[in-house]
Structure 1
Amino acid sequence: MRGSMRGFTGFQVNERFGKIIVSVPAAQASMIKATIYTDLRGVLWFIENPFFPIIVPEVAVHFLISNIFSNIMRYKPDEWGGVLLNEVDSNISLLTRHYFSSFQRKFMLLVLRSVSRYIPYSK
């Protein structure tokens, strides 16, 4: 199987049609040591965690990424303008625009999830 599954030690792991399926009984869900985020529709995603065993909440990851972008905007405005005007590698501009677009759609859900015991999602 591809990748490391350190976050799911002790659980049944199978590969089916190119996807890795981990079976976790509900009673043992608290034993997961993996980073699991959800997309806008509430689908669970396993994210390989380079800081294992430290598990960083998704809102903290977005805060760090936003902080990085704000430092670039403040201290390198010429380079930031090049990214916005697509004057650099188009993959960098595309990735930046996609990140901000998806973060803008997901931010309110992250806030609601952090203050509520329910998990809201968008259709």
Structure 2
Amino acid sequence: MVAATALIGCTVVQDTLQVGQREFTYETSADAEESSESFRFQGFLPDDGTDVRLIAQLDGHAAVMRWTSPTVFTSEHCTEATVTSQPEIQAEWLPDPLPTEGVACSTWTVVRSGGTQVAWVNEPEE
């Protein structure tokens, strides 16, 4: 009981002060889009996406997400690119190695490994 209370207290502090990072998981894209965290996915998820995962720094400086889908991610705001960055946030579910070809979408990078797609944003260097 004490551990559960401490965990809940930690989450409340993180959310209130916007520090640390949190992981969000959803069975489908629809579940993610209907959640209170839908803003974090910024239009990346296709309608047929499943096994949706996201780890976000609560201060907004970095995030990494993944989803499974037969639909290849495309956007008019992205261009094909050689991938030279890696996510600042490490996750056990990232493909190893990360693909070296993907798309660049402003500060976001998106890569595909089989049916798994991964997107990450890093804080722009100043």
TM-score range relative to shorter protein: under 0.3
Between structures 1 and 2, the one with greater helix share: 1
- Name the larger-Rg structure: 1
Between structures 1 and 2, the one with greater strand share: 2
TM-score normalised by L of structure 2:
0.22
